[in-house]
Amino acid sequence: MIIGYIFWIILSQITSAEVIGASSALISLTNIFAVVAVIGIDEGNQRFLGKSFSEGKIDDVKSYVKASLFLVSVGILASSIAILLISSWIHDVYGIDFSLVIVAIILVGSNAIQLLLYSVVTASLKTKVLPKIMIVSSTAKLLVAVILILMGAGVLGLTIGYTLSHIISSILLAIVILTTFALSNKNNNSNQIRTAVANFSHACRNIVTAGVARWIPHIITTIGSQLGTIVIFGFQGSDQAGMYFIALIIVNGITYAMYSLFTVALPALSAMQDGRKRFTWHAIRLSALISVPFSSALIFYSREIMQLVGQTYIEASLSLEILLLSMLPTTVFTGVTVLVYSYGNYKQVLAIGLATSIPRTTLYFALVPVYGNTGAAMSYTIGAIVGFAVSVAIANKIKMQMSWKDLGYILIIPTGIAFGLDLLHVNFIVGIAATLVISYISLLRLRILKRTDIRDAVNILPNSISDQVTSILKMIDRKSNWFY
């Protein structure tokens, strides 16, 4: 999230909003095609990989990984052909030339492969390598994009840099999977080959069944989230699209931080026999604790945040505020979606996906021509609220218990603190930091943020850092009895 934000801040200083807007429209379009290419395999395989990893069945893991790669390769080929078929239309409507179309195809393929390989590592729950891979690929993306733009490559240079990060991530993830999980094929005799073929066919059927059920709502959800930039580009122009895209990037950064728990939760839930609802509520609570205080603070300092990117982008500060309102609804409906998917209740997954994305997609075309960036943000947030309402109804139907009191405190406390600091005209850096610190202390005192949460958060850090933090917390605890 941090590197992505730095990436767009730096690029906004060395190129125009028009270049960022055109690039963002192309990136949004390729994100949609990447989800189409994956065919839901990146999530469908986690239901089976999570269980296979937990039971130590490496042969089954191999079969599912190979089947996933085959299916995604077919999806990439189909998406590439589709892009080539509509390349003339893309050029006529958006002014994207053939060189950018080729980059778009490479971006779709590398993005799809990265999504798949990332899901395999995540399903293993051996995720400590992922931050290192993301840092390396993101740094390379920044360096290459900056160099190419300074050389005058414009939209082409930016998209090449963006594509490079997916290529590097895919290569590094493949190396990790091959070396760590020993997924090379050593079957030689005819019986082993026949068994491998049978397992491969069985894995394909399982993954397709589970993947397509999640794929359809995922496509709809992705279209709902990515289409805003494309519609703005078509109706309002590249500069307006660039402004909205930056606001959306900030919100997506927080959303991805929230998604991280649910991404790991899916294979864990799929391997569980009991306690799934309690586990999901715990994940929802933790995700809300991660995302809501930060997003609540940013709402009151949206102008200053957008100003960091550039004076041109201040106009999109209202859009950022409206987008940030979607954070809590998104947290809840994402958690419920993961739960019902782990049960195999595909119709309920589809219902939440449709409820979120149909209002978004419809309202984009109704509100963007009239309200521009603000209309796109309104459409996005309204979709999240409708999806939230449907997910709550489904949660009640399956008798999942959620503490609305806890969620209310998680929302109201940081919002109230940020509002007060904003009235006092506190500097935005101090205001955001103070909002987070005071909010977490208050939530800790109310026992909504628990001691185990603090310990888990500390354990995520490298040992050299976590030992020092633990010593500080124990010193505080001797006086206040808050943590240990």
> pLDDT tens-digit profile of 89-102?
777 766 677 888 89
Nearest to 173 by CA among 122, 219, 106, 109: 122
For the residues 416-437, what does the mean pLDDT come to? 93
Q: Give the C-alpha distances (Å, rounded to integers) separating 448 from 260, 410, 438, 452, 473.
A: 20, 8, 14, 11, 18
In the predicted model, is pLDDT for residue 287 greater than 60? yes
Q: How do residues 125-167 score in pLDDT, each as one tens digit?
A: 777 888 889 889 989 998 999 999 999 888 889 999 989 999 9
What's the pLDDT band for 191 if we cut at 50, 70, 90?
very low
In the chain, the percentage of residues whose pLDDT exceeds 70 is: 86
For residue 460, name the pLDDT band (cuts at 50, 70, 90). Answer: low
**Among 274, 268, 377, CA closest to 326:** 377
The backbone torsions φ and ψ at residue 314, rounded to the nearest 5 degrees and listed phi first, read -60, -30
pLDDT score recorded for residue 465: 64
pLDDT tier for residue 270 given thresholds of 50, 70 and 90: low
Q: Cα angle at 49 between 47 and 55, to 5 degrees?
A: 110
Cα dihedral 76→79→81→85 (10° resolution): -160
Q: Are 154 and 15 in contact (CB under 8 A)?
A: yes
Give the angle subtended at the CA of 301 by the CAs of 134 and 138, to the nearest 5°. Answer: 10
Q: What is the mean pLDDT of the chain?
A: 82
Q: What whole-number distance in Å separates Cα of residue 143 and Cα of residue 153?
A: 14
pLDDT attached to residue 254: 85
Q: Is the pLDDT of residue 457 over 70?
A: no
Distance of CA 69 to the CA centre of its chain: 21
Q: Is residue 43 within 8 Å of 341, Cβ to Cβ?
A: yes
What number of other Cβ atoms are within 10 A of residue 425's Cβ? 8
CB-CB contact of 11 with 232 (8 Å): no
Res. 267: pLDDT tops 70: no
Q: State what percent of residues in the chain have pLDDT above 90.
A: 28
For residues 269 and 261, give the distance between their C-alpha atoms in angstroms, rounded to a whole number. 12
pLDDT value at residue 182: 61
Could you please report the per-residue DSSP string of 299-331?
Answer: HTTHHHHHHHH-GGGGGGHHHHHHHHTTHHHHH
Lowest mean pLDDT among 32-46, 110-124, 290-304, 363-377: 32-46
107-132 residue pLDDT tens: 999 999 998 898 888 888 777 888 88
> What is the pLDDT confidence band of residue 53, given thresholds at 50, 70 and 90?
confident
Q: Helix, strand, coil % (nearest 5) of the chain?
A: 85, 0, 15
Q: Are 29 and 227 in contact (CB under 8 A)?
A: no
